[in-house]
Structure 1
Amino acid sequence: MKIRKMAIFMVIVLVLIFTLEAAAQAKKINNIGQYTFARVRGKIPTPEVMKMLVDRYAADIKTGFEQAGYGFLYEPFINQLKTAQFEDTTWNIGDTVKWMLFRSHGKVKVSGELEWAGKKPVEVFAVKVKEGYKTYTFIIPKPCGNIAFKDMVEEIPEAICSLKVSPAKANINDPITVDMSGTQFAKSMKVEIFDKQGARVASKDLTPEGAKWQTKLDKPGEYVFKGSAINLAGKPSANPCEGKVYINYPPVAKVAPSCTDCTNMYGKPLTFDASGSSDPDGEVTRVVFELQDANGQVIDSFNDTEKPFTWEKTLYKEGTFTVSTTAYDNDGAVSAASEDSRKSFTVTRKKFFGLIELGPMLAHGGDQYDLPSYALYLYLRPGFFYWINPDKVSLTMTAGAGLPLKGDPWKAIIMAEMLANFHFGKVYLGIGPGFTTKELSSLYNRKSGVDAVGQLGITLFNNYVRISHLFFEFRAPIGRNFEDHHKMGLGFRYCF
């Protein structure tokens, strides 16, 4: 009983195997035209075939593709059929198709695999449809217009690398844009940066979705950007793919002040010379000067666009100052700060002057002595001038001689004085003690003695190293008769 059941089971298995093998084998056909999908009589030109298939049978084509499990190819097939190149060829004996659309009792049907077993090849139109990297070949037998899927070939194209780098010339730390968006048929890309010595300084992996990269280079010189692309099969691109960028050398700024110990240079022009600034691979086109005080506050600046790049500046302030320069080249690069581009200097004002003053003076005579009311003297007094508080308070000390323009009984006199001068703009008032010897002999009751001296003057000229004054002076005696001993005069003072 068991043997019988086993035998029956084996028979069933063998029947199934033969059935599956038979089903797996292509069905051989030797005639065509009985179950036509779209009747095509004769060799109708390809454009008419396309129009007929698209306009009249689009819905049936969609139904057939979906039944065959190729619904995803419907739209590419319909769209590409409008412009595809139809090839006149043959379906040769022994060749197969994977499936074929045909019509039976008015309904669209899909066959399995078919093999042509007729007596001679069948004339067909062949058309190719692309979807992604796959090319599908369809044939349409001319006698019946049925659509048959013949085969599919997957064609993974070589990756074509495209690399654009901009700008071609830039300054240090300027943004450099790498663009590989023009690369074709790649699943990934890579760019590498090499310096002039061939050393790799940077690299970046990119994708078709993120094909751009922005970077910076912090050293001058020439750089080569090399790109590569990998296709879907993992094969690198073979076409040349590189770009070059030149990073501009920045200029070098240098400045030399006309003095660093600028004694007595208050109010006098100073020169800051930046003509020594240079550029290794171009030319300096602009220099910006900046002047700072001891607290680091910018008090003035100057933008010079003409060679030889010098700045003349007059300072009306004492102290320590710093002049710094920044150079710009013809590509817009900016110099870095250095010891040569920044110099300090000290400005002082002249406070101590030698002086000489001279002028006419009147000494009182008197009717009681049978003398004229006043006698005319010419005096000359050397001395010094000192600023206690510049432009506000000064001190003068002078001593000299006065000579009468008439002879006996008038005598030459010696004068000296020390005055504190208070300045109000160009006008000043000076007061202080003085001394005068007697201008007449003892017969006339004249005595040497101390005077109270006053001056009212005006500044004629002051360039801070030379000063001149014009003044009126009055000398009043102290401890002596005013009527006999007072004096007055005009004077010119020159301080040097």
Structure 2
Amino acid sequence: MKKKMLLSAALLAALAAPAGAVQAASVLRTVGRHPVSAPLATVEDLRAMMRTMGNDIQDGMSRAGNAGLFPLVQAHIANNSGQIAIVDYLPGQQIDWMLFRQNGRGRVKVARDVTWGGSAPLSVFEFAVEKDGRRYTFAVPLQCGNLALKESGPAPVQVIQQQAPVVQYKEVVRQVPVPGPTVYVPKEVIKYVDRPVVREVVRQVPVPGPTVYVDRPVVKEVVRQVSVPGPTVYVPKEVIKYVDKPVEVVKYVDKPVVKTVVRKVRVPGPARTVYVDRPVVKEVVKEVPGKAECCESPFHFIADLGWLHQKEEDHVNYGLGRLGVEYAASPQFSFLALAGGAAKAGGDSGADAFVLDFLVQYNFFQCSSNGATWSPFFAGLGIGAWMTNGEDEMPSEDSGADVIAELGLRLFGNPASTSVAIFLEGRAATDELDELEEYGRIGGGLRFRF
């Protein structure tokens, strides 16, 4: 909470700079130094600003606590140009809040309890929307496009004067079709035995009055006489295999003979003969204190399974899964390349993401009475890519480059063998380092090394 209060004070201080727009006592003396859009001249320019900057304005109204009014403001600007007027605000005019962008760049922010203190009137587009019995009056300065809420209050009650109903009599005229004389045309049925034939019959029928031609095609009923045989019997098809020449089968009677090799070996010392049936290879393992064992291959497969949390405004959770390769440049330093995904598991904001991470890992030593041995702790630092299909204007859904830091503890194994470890990870976008508390992601998981 203290950090958010300091951030709000810093924003007001930025607006109060001489090259800015607002003095330290929330008195706005000039406009145009921290604009949301280019200067506006007509209502059509206001509509264009709402079309291009709609997502940013919606984000700013959400920060101001009036997110539910954005659809009404958007619809009013798009459809009710006749109810948008250009008004001059005199010095001393109070404004509940105003949106701005620091030096015209970055995310839209909110300045509250602003008073216009310029030397001349402030020209604005003014309009009002109503919701739940309250009227909200909005203003958009022509010089900068910074949407502002001037004031809000109870909506005025409209008195509807009832007028006596006017009775109107409507003459009803119906046109009733009168059918002509009924003509009965006998249906002609032709039976063809060989195949069906559809013939078009045109008959001229004498009727009282004008001659009527009946040209409707008549489909003839077809009757075919089919001789039905007795019950059908299915005879299985006989399959005959022809062999050109017989296959000769050879049986080997002789069994393989296993020979035992006997060698005479001269042994230094007293004269004696030793018979060795087979060579014996003895594996010698020598442990050298103070040096880590070298693995056979510097490459190892890595699998991560974990969880990330992003505070933002509604606490977003992600399930993290990555696969990759580790290259051990030395017993202490190794390089990791990981690829995978972060599936959103809760929260209204955020979006599923594909991650591509590159890390440098350092494995710690610890000193003991027997010399240097491996410590179970390791640390990592690197960069990564967080790629989504979300809205680019929303910081919790956009894609970008991340800075990554890790700290881990091996449960068993060492840097030269298969191991299982737990790790803590924190990551944040490079363009959101000043908002770590809100948009930084932190979590942990298990790391399997093969």
Give TM class, smaller chain.
0.3 to 0.5
More strand by share: 1
Answer with 1 or 2: which has the greater Rg: 1
State the TM-score, normalized to the length of structure 1: 0.30
State the TM-score, normalized to the length of structure 2: 0.33
